[in-house]
Amino acid sequence: MLYGRDTETAALADRLAAAREGRGSALVVRGEAGIGKSSLVAATAENAADVTVLRCTGVESEHAWSFAGLQALLLPLAGHLEAIPEHHACVLSRTLGLDPAPEKEAPPGDLRFTVGLAALSLLTEAAGHRPVLCIVEDAHWLDPDSADVLLFIAKRLAAEAALMIFTVREGYAPDFPTPGLDELRLGPLDDAAAASLLAERLGGHTHADRGRILHSAEGNPLALLELPLVESDTRLAADWTGRRSTTSRLKQVFGDRIDRLPEPTRTLLLVIAADDTADTGLVLDVAAKLGAQLTDLAPAEADDLVRFHGDRFTFGHPLIRTAAYQGAPVFRRLEAHRVYTEIMGADDHRRVLHLAAAATGPDEAVAAALEAAADCGSTCGGHGYEYTVFERAAAFTPDPRERGRRLLRAAEAAVAAGNGPKARALSIQIGRITEDRAILARATLMAAMVAAWDNDIRESYRLYMEAADHYVAADITSTGYPLFRAVELAWQAGDFSRAEVAAEYAERLGIDHSPWVRDLAKATAGLNRSCTVTVAEAVAALRNLIDIHLGFGESVSPENRAMVAWWQTLIGDIDAAEQTASGTVHAARTTGAAGALPRALTLNAITEFHRGRWKDAEALAWNAVEFSIELGQRIGPVKARAHVLAPIAALRGEEERVRELVEDAHAGSPGDTVVAIDNALALLDIALGRNEEALDRFMMQLESSAPGEALDWVPFAVEAAVRAGEPERVAGAFDWFTQWAEASGQPHLMAQVERCRGLLADEQEAGAHYQRAAELHKETDALFPFESARTDLVFGEWLRRARRVNEAKTRLRSAAAVFERLGAEPWSERVRRELRAAGDAGPIEAAPDLAGKLTPQELQVVRLAAAGLSNREIGEQLYLSPRTAGYHLYKAYPKLGVASRNDLAKLGL
């Protein structure tokens, strides 16, 4: 019976019932040691007779074993492997140790997603036959790769007959962050529940004894059960009421109980704790070499410290394991690990860590064995295993250069695992122990990349330049990449003199890629109003870089394809940018290059925003935010919010939403202000008719250190200036925008130029400019409906003033239909006012916004289904299970008024 946990028990029962009905979820149960997490979860499992119950427990000694937790959890489902896609079965068989690792080839891409999607496929296949309850105990001790994959799965169970529960100890344990998952925190039992539990345990004790124990236990159930056992020990009883944590006091209780056991029993407990192997024969063989045997376990069993369950030894509580291992003398621990290495086979993957645990100082043989294990494990294991083992190998390496090389391997694996803080720390460590310039160059390159992820732009620039210095000494032909990236970072920081420094450095070196660096520096200067480079020269330089990179064809990495898409937006070629960005998203998802996905999604969202597909833009941007958070990339959410979500909300006049997004973006952007954030506030001002405030904000950005960020919004600044009666303030900015539009040769940009000319011209000349703008919009095949509608609005306003009322109504109604569809309410209201002034008060008829009826996830699923993809293929693209893809699809059908996927292609979505 669980005392005082009725609410928590009911909550878990409700989740299990929902899972039985196909509404899956995940829950993280947190609390201090002994608070009752395991008991609560066990009670849930006892009520799951009709459910497949899968279990795994994070173990401190297995923290470095790649996918150890995942193997323990999913191996019982191995019988379902034949029913999932072949490539998923192949990846998972290798990961779970069912197939041997290949000699060279590793799974492509980021294993969180490659293995995660395969594991999700297996779990959902099993859940399709019978509901599944996954219990992950002591998740804080999971190996990093298992943790990544299980958290990936946990966020994608909404349409599955599955419930996943994590238990996490708080205090005296590693952090286990679970962003996006529901959490249940277990606190102390209330006085009544604690008293009931104690009464059951200590029915014969006096009232005073029970009162003292209740006071000392502080509502911790395990403490309530253990304190009576130490009441006879005056020292322990007194110490229990000290200032130490409950965890440390419980560990002492268990340690003292173990100390009272016979020496052979303590030896056997140490051997079990040192490896936690499922191989009972191995444990007993090691114990025999140390003078213990199976019969020596009896005293520990009688004291409920350890039990034999499921063909393996298990401790009654994780703290018992800790006490059994840490309480043993150091020489005994070293001896236990040494015997393990003697008995284990040479091909046993655990042997090498026992070898390391038995070592007492630098040892090249141990270091080499660890490196070999990391190399072998990386072909079928995760990057978390790889960087952990390489770091340990380095710790045992006597030679500084070799130590630096192994730390570099660890840092590169940490970057591949998305663990930026670990990669940065390893890079700093490398700089302290080696003077090898080749190693320092690669390590600094890793650190620069991580700084960019963290949006520490200036530090990233500095590190790329430092990496270039190292490459000059080690391999001058490799210097181009860090210098190229340095220019890009200088651009983002708005420090264009530093971009010039990097370009001049490349030219002095005379490397093959010097022209590339110079072209990017030229674009940086020209697109930020430099007096030394014209806008036309900047656009020409970017076109050259685009042609060079596209010339490499399919060999261009997703990361570099995303960069090309960004350049295409900078020259105004939104149509080409959309094709490149969407292709990059597809390539990143297909190859598992998850690191490039947030940037590609954001760029794709920007192109959809410009093309007037705001719902798609929002879906892609939120996707970018979610993946950035999963990957630990701080810059991703900032860019998506600042460049897409906030501007859309601003143009819709959603003031509270804009300020919320701006606050979130600022919070994720320490150090460097993102100009786009303030541009979004300016857009909000103009949408709400606050023209003076909008003009001030726009001009502040256009006169800032990075005016290129505001280039897109110059036409809004012109309109704000005209309506504020201060057109002269934007003359210079409009001239700059005009040069850009002419250099780009894009009709949609020239249409905006003509609209601005109409706004700035006198009444007699304005009409001709508006007419020309409308004609140019027609050349874009309606790819930019919002801009076209803005032209129709100002043209309609002019026509009404010119008393050409019927023509005005036509223009205004055309604009209104677009604004209504996009949900741009402030603009719709402006049109309605003009129509009323023209004597037209009739309702606005807008084309039905089918996309607007769908959630972002539904819209992405529907678009892919309309393109002919199956649910399984949609799941592959969006990192969902096929059932979840189908769930979103069937939710979308009634909203769209269709009955099957065959009708979707006819909707024109």
CA-CA-CA-CA torsion sign (130, 135, 141, 147):
positive
Identify whether the C-beta of residue 819 lies closer than 8 Å to the C-beta of residue 788: no
| Nearest in space to 562 (alpha carbons), one of 488, 652, 480 | 488
Q: Helix, strand, coil shares of the chain as percentages rounded to 5? A: 70, 5, 25
Identify whether the C-beta of residue 232 lies closer than 8 Å to the C-beta of residue 205: no
H or E stretch including 312?
strand 312-315
| Nearest in space to 390 (alpha carbons), one of 374, 412, 368, 401 | 374
For the chain, the domains span 6-185, 191-257, 261-357, 566-672, 674-745, 754-849, 852-907
Q: What gap in Å lies between CA 169 and CA 179, rounded to an integer?
A: 16
CB proximity list for 865: less than 8 A, separation 6 or greater: 871, 874, 889, 901, 904
CB proximity list for 836: less than 8 A, separation 6 or greater: none
Residue whose tokens read 């064995």: 369
Identify whether the C-beta of residue 63 lies closer than 8 Å to the C-beta of residue 143: yes
pLDDT at site 236: 46
Q: Which CATH number fits domain 6-185: 3.40.50, 3.30.420, 1.10.10, 3.20.20?
A: 3.40.50
Which residues share a beta bridge with 27? 165, 182
Q: What gap in Å lies between CA 454 and CA 463, rounded to an integer?
A: 13
pLDDT at site 89: 87
CB proximity list for 637: less than 8 A, separation 6 or greater: 624, 625, 628, 629, 664, 665, 668
pLDDT at site 199: 79
| Nearest in space to 622 (alpha carbons), one of 630, 676, 850 | 630
Which CATH fold would you assign to the domain 566-672? Answer: 1.25.40
pLDDT at site 244: 62
The encoded tokens of residue 408 equal 């570099």
Q: Ramachandran region of residue 219, left (φ > 0), alpha (ψ -120 to 50) or beta?
A: left
Maximum C-alpha span of the chain: 106
Other C-beta atoms closer than 10 Å to the C-beta of 292 total 23
CB proximity list for 656: less than 8 A, separation 6 or greater: none
Question: Could you tell me the pTM of the whole model?
Answer: 0.82
The encoded tokens of residue 148 equal 């990544």
Q: What gap in Å lies between CA 644 and CA 599, rounded to an integer?
A: 12
Phi, psi of 134 (to 5 degrees): -105, 120
pLDDT at site 848: 67
The encoded tokens of residue 11 equal 């909550």
Residue whose tokens read 């209330």: 190
pLDDT at site 112: 67
CB proximity list for 780: less than 8 A, separation 6 or greater: 747, 748, 751, 788
Other C-beta atoms closer than 10 Å to the C-beta of 429 total 18
DSSP state of 2: -
How many angstroms from the chain centroid is the CA of residue 750? 39
Architecture in CATH of 852-907 = Orthogonal Bundle (1.10)
> Mean pLDDT in each 10-residue stretch from start to end of the chain (909 residues)?
90 96 96 91 92 90 75 92 87 78 48 83 94 95 88 92 95 85 92 82 60 75 73 49 67 87 94 79 92 93 84 82 90 93 82 86 90 70 74 92 93 81 91 93 93 85 95 93 91 82 93 92 87 91 93 82 92 95 87 80 94 92 89 82 94 94 72 65 94 93 77 94 95 95 96 97 95 93 89 96 94 93 93 92 74 85 88 87 88 88 79
Write 833-842 long-range contacts (CB < 8 A, 24+): 834/793, 834/796, 834/797, 834/800, 834/808, 835/809, 837/800, 838/800, 838/805, 838/808, 838/809, 838/812, 839/805, 840/809, 840/812, 840/813
pLDDT at site 669: 57
Helix (H, G, I), strand (E, B) or coil at 137: strand
CA–CA distances in Å: residue 506 to residues 213, 444, 486, 534, 547: 74, 18, 11, 22, 21
Q: What gap in Å lies between CA 136 and CA 162, rounded to an integer?
A: 13
H or E stretch including 306?
strand 306-309
Q: What gap in Å lies between CA 71 and CA 56, rounded to an integer?
A: 8
